[in-house]
Structure 1
Amino acid sequence: MRLFNALLLLLALLAPPSALAADKNLVCFYDSASYLRQGFAKLLPTDLELGLNFCSHLIYGYAGLKPQTHEVYSLNVDLDMFHYHEILLLKAKYPKMKVFLSVGGDRDVDEANPLKYIGLLESGSEGQQQFIDSSIALLKRNGFDGLDLAFQLPRNKPRKVHGTVGSYWKKFKKLFTGDFVVDPQAGVHKEQFTEFSKNLRAALQRSNLSLALTVLPNVNSTWYFDVPKIKNNFEFINLLAFDFLTPNRNPDEADYTAPIYPLTEQNRLPHYNIEYQVDYWLQNQCPGEKLNLGIATYGRAWRITPDSGLTGVPVIPETDGPAPAGLQSQIPGLLSWPEICAKMPNDVNADYRGENAPLRKVIDLVQRYGNYAFRPADENGEHGMWVSYDD
C-alpha cells in the first residue's frame, strides 16, 4: 500500500501492462524524499520491487540546479550517495528496465531563485554547457541510463470559475488590464529550450545516455515546447496531466483535478483536461508512442464550509483551502489512496461523527471526469471535506 505514495505511473497513452510485451512504456517514478517520511509513508528502495516487474523505466527524483553555475547537483548528498547505489542495484534483477535521473520536479524548491530554470535557458552556450557537463558526470559516476528534464518553468495562473455576472465583469476588465502574462518572453524561451535540448541530446548520445522530458502540471506546453522541433530530442515525453486545480492553487473552490475530457458548463477553462494536453502534442506531429500519460496516485482534498452547499456536485464554492493532512501522507490537502479508502463507509466508521465521519462516494459512471467523495460541514460548520480522485 505504501507504493501508492511514491510511484507515479506513466502509461503510454493508457496502454495496459500487458502491452509491455509489445515494447510499450510503463514509466515508474520514485521520489527519494519518501525515504525521509515517518511511519507508513516511509518508502525504502526495496519496497519498489513490488512494482518493478511492470516498469520499463524507473525515474529517480530529484536532482537540482545551481542557479549561479547552472550545474546539476544532488539535493540530498547524504541520502543520494547511498540511494543511487541501492536503486541501480535493482537493474541486475530487472535488466530490461532503464533508470533515469530527473532534474527539477517539485522538490528543487528555491525561493530565492524561482526562475532559475529560465535563467539556464537564458545563460547561453557557456551556462548550458555547465549543465550538460555536470549532468553527464553525475549520470556516469552513478550508473544511470539517462536524464529526465522536469524543469520548473512558469505555470499557468490559477483561474477561478466565474458565474455569468463574473464572466461579464472579467471581460470588461480585460479592456483595461489585458490578460495576465506569466512569461512575456515565452517565445524566446521556447526557441532557447529547442536549441538547448538539441545540444543536450547530442552530448548525451555521445556518452551512450538517453534523454526524456517531463511536463509538470500546469506548465503550458504551448509556451515552451516547439513540438515539431523537439520531438526527436527525447526518447519519451511524460505529460503530467493532473492537478489542474488543487487546494493550494485554488483555495476558494473545488473541482475535478484531472478530468479526461473537457467540461464546458460553468465557464470552466478548456485546457483543464487530459484530452487537451495530449491532443496538443499529437496535433503537433509528436508520435503517440513517445507520449506517456501521467496518473496521480493520490487525491486532492478541500475543506468545505456551510456556504459550500450540501450536494457535493462540483464546482464547490466557498471552500477554505486544503483539508487536514492524513496520518500517512502528512500533507494538508493531499490524501493517499489508502487514506481515501479508509474514509469510505465501512463497518468500522458507519457510526462515527465529526472528523472521523465517513465520506459519501460519488462514482463517475460515464468515466470522463473522475470520482469524488465528500462530507458536508456539520451543524457547527466544521469537518467538511471534498476529495477529487481516480481509482
Structure 2
Amino acid sequence: MNSLWLGLGLSLVLLAAIQNVSGAPNMICYYDSKGFERQGLAQFGLQDMELALQFCTHVIYGYTGINPDTYELQSINKRLDMEQRHFSQITALKDRYPYIKFLLSVGGDRDLVQEDKYIKLLEAGRQAHTRFIESSRDLVRRYNFDGLDLSLQLPRNKPRKVHGEVGSAWKSFKKFFTGDFIVDSESETHKGQLTGLIKDLGSAFSASNLLLSLTVLPNVNSSWYFDAPAIAPSLDMINLATFDFLTPDRNPEEADYTSPLYEAFGQNRLGHYNVNFQMEHWLLQRVPAQKLNIGIASYGRAWKLSSESGDTGMPVVQHTKGPALAGLQTKTEGLLNWAEICQMMPNPGNSKPVRRVLDPTKRYGSYAVRPADSSDENGIWISYDDPDTASSKAQYARAKNLGGVALFDLTLDDFRGQCTGDRFPMLRAIKYRLLV
C-alpha cells in the first residue's frame, strides 16, 4: 500500500510540474491555519501539508484581516503567524515545491472584530485604499507569498424559508425585489468602490509580479458587489465558494442540500442555490472560464432532527432543531469534517450509525440521516460532498473548461486516513478527475 501511495504521489508531482506549461486545471488548496492549532486527531501539521502539496497548484493561507482604524492588512493571529513563524514555515515549502503558488487570504469569515470594516474600507476613499494596497503588498512580500486573495466579508443575503406552502418561493423572490431582503441599500455605490479598489490592487500587484485572486464567500450576492466584466482583467483567479447555500445556523428549522450541482426541483426551492447557477452568472458576464474555479467543501453541515422530522430523511426535511452537536474532532456545532461523517456510517464499532443516501444522478449530492428516537434525541441529518460527488463536480469543471476546483479546506479533509486508510480522499478524488 505504501509503495502504491508513493508511486501515485510521484506521478502527481510530475503531472503538477508539467501543468505550468501545459495549462492543466487548477487545484486550489485552501489552508485555514486554525487547523494547525486544533488538538488531537484534528491537528493539521506541516507534514500533512507537505503530503497535500503533491496535489495542489495553489495554496491559499487563511486568514489575515484589516485594521479597522487604518485599513491596513494585518495578522489576526500574530502569535502563530509571526511569533511562531507559521507564515514563513508555509512559504518555505516553496523551495521544494517551486511549481506551487502560495497566496495570503484576507477575510474569510475569520476577521471578527468590527466586521463592517470591509464595507467601511470601500467607503473610506482613495487614501485608505492606498494604505490597504501598500500594506498588503508589503506583508505578502515580507513573508514570501506569491500574491493576495480577497475573501472579503461583505454583507450576506438574509436567510429565508422558501419551502412548505405553495407559492412560498415566489413570495421570497417578490420580497427580494421589493426590498424586504435588501441587506445593503448602498450596494450599487459599494460595487463601484470595490471595482476601483480591485483595479488599483491589480495594477500594483501586477507591477510587482504578484498574483491577485478573488474569493466570493457563500451567500454574498455577486450581482450586488462584483462588476464582473470590469474586475476580471485585474484578477488572476476567481474562486466561487459554491456551498453552504443552506446551513443549520441560517436555516435552523429545515434541512436541504447545502451544495447541489444543479437546481433541485420541487418543494418551492430557490433556483439559485446551486453550483451551476452561480457559475453561469459569471460566465454570462463574459468572464473567461479559465479564470473561474468552483469551490467544494471538505466538510458537511449537520442538523438536529426532531420526532416531527419524520424518518425518511428525504429533503426538504422540516421541523429540524438547528445545528447538530459538535463532532469530537472539529468541535463546531453543525459542522463535521469528512472523517467524522465517514466514521458515522455503518461499521462494527458504531452502535448508532447513520443511513447513507447516495445520489445516482450526480446532480444534488449525498446525505445521511438518523431519525430521532422515542425521547426525541439522537436525530441527525447531514448534507455533504464525499469523494464521489467531489469527483463529479471536478468533471463538471472540466466539461465547462473552467480554471479548476478550489477545496475548502485541506484541514477538514480526512488527512489522516481515518476512514479508509487513504489520506486526503477528497483532494485526491478531485485531482484525479481534473487530470483524466
| TM-score (norm: length of structure 1) | 0.90
> Are 1:225 and 2:226 an aligned pair?
yes
| C-alpha distance in structure 2 between counterparts of 1:131 and 1:55, whole Å | 29
Q: 1:143 maps to which residue?
A: 144
Q: Deviations over 1:308-357 (max 9, x none)?
A: 111100011110011111111111111111111111111222xx2xxxx1
| C-alpha distance in structure 2 between counterparts of 1:44 and 1:119, whole Å | 36
Deviation, 1:202, is: 0.8
Q: More deviation in 272-281 or 36-45?
A: 36-45
Deviation, 1:386, is: 0.2
Deviation, 1:67, is: 1.3
Match for 2:86 among 83, 90, 103?
83
The answer to whether the 8 A contact 2:16-2:54 is kept is: no
Q: 2:212 maps to which residue?
A: 211
Q: 1:95 maps to which residue?
A: 98
The answer to whether the 8 A contact 1:35-1:42 is kept is: yes
Q: 1:383 maps to which residue?
A: 378
Unaligned runs of 5+ in 2: 1-14, 387-436
Q: How does 1:329-348 map to 2 (within 5 A)?
A: 329-348=330-349
Match for 1:364 among 359, 368, 372?
359
The answer to whether the 8 A contact 1:45-1:83 is kept is: no
SS at 2:31 equivalent: strand
SS at 1:214 equivalent: strand
Distance 1:171 1:39, change over 3 A: closer
| C-alpha distance in structure 2 between counterparts of 1:294 and 1:19, whole Å | 23
Deviation, 1:146, is: 0.3
Q: 1:3 maps to which residue?
A: none
> Are 1:109 and 2:109 an aligned pair?
no
SS at 2:267 equivalent: helix
CA-based RMSD? 2.1
The answer to whether the 8 A contact 2:359-2:365 is kept is: yes
> Are 1:373 and 2:374 an aligned pair?
no
Deviation, 1:17, is: 8.0
| C-alpha distance in structure 2 between counterparts of 1:171 and 1:262, whole Å | 17
> Are 1:185 and 2:189 an aligned pair?
no
Report the AA paired with residue 226 of structure 2.
Answer: F
Q: 1:47 maps to which residue?
A: 48
Deviation, 1:264, is: 2.7
SS at 1:86 equivalent: helix
> Are 1:276 and 2:274 an aligned pair?
no
Q: Deviations over 1:122-167 (max 9, x none)?
A: 1110111110111111111111110000000011111112323572
The answer to whether the 8 A contact 2:169-2:268 is kept is: no
Deviation, 1:168, is: 9.0
> Are 1:129 and 2:97 an aligned pair?
no
| C-alpha distance in structure 2 between counterparts of 1:168 and 1:83, whole Å | 47
Q: How many residues align?
A: 368
SS at 2:318 equivalent: coil
Q: How does 1:21-60 map to 2 (within 5 A)?
A: 21-60=22-61
The answer to whether the 8 A contact 1:71-1:135 is kept is: yes
Q: How does 1:145-184 map to 2 (within 5 A)?
A: 145-164=146-165, 167=168, 170=171, 174=175, 178-184=179-185
Deviation, 1:171, is: 7.1
SS at 1:242 equivalent: coil
Q: How does 1:294-313 map to 2 (within 5 A)?
A: 294-313=295-314
SS at 2:277 equivalent: helix
| C-alpha distance in structure 2 between counterparts of 1:310 and 1:23, whole Å | 45
Deviation, 1:370, is: 0.2
Distance 1:156 1:172, change over 3 A: closer
The answer to whether the 8 A contact 1:154-1:182 is kept is: yes
The answer to whether the 8 A contact 2:162-2:169 is kept is: no
The answer to whether the 8 A contact 2:166-2:268 is kept is: no
| C-alpha distance in structure 2 between counterparts of 1:250 and 1:264, whole Å | 19
The answer to whether the 8 A contact 1:17-1:26 is kept is: no
Q: 1:251 maps to which residue?
A: 252
